[in-house]
Amino acid sequence: MALVFLPNGLAYSRAAVLASKAVGGAVQRNRCKRILRARLAQSWAEIKPGFDILVVARKHLLESTPSEVDQSFQKLLVWAGINNKQTDDGTNYTGSGS
Domain annotation covers residue 82: no
pLDDT in tens, the chain (98 residues): 889 999 989 999 999 999 999 999 999 999 999 999 999 999 888 889 999 999 999 989 889 898 899 898 888 888 888 887 644 444 444 444 43
pLDDT, position 27: 94
Number of domains in the chain: 1
Flag whether 83 is in a domain. Answer: no
DSSP letter for each residue of the chain: -EEEEEE-SSSS-EEEEE--TTT-SHHHHHHHHHHHHHHHHHHGGGBPSSEEEEEE--GGGGG--HHHHHHHHHHHHHHHT-B--B-TTSPBP-----
Establish if 43 belongs to a structural domain. Answer: yes
Look up the CATH number of the domain holding residue 18. 3.30.230.10
Whether residue 70 is contained in a domain is answered as yes
Predicted TM-score (pTM) of the model is 0.77
Note whether residue 84 is domain-resident. no
Residue 91 domain-assigned?
no
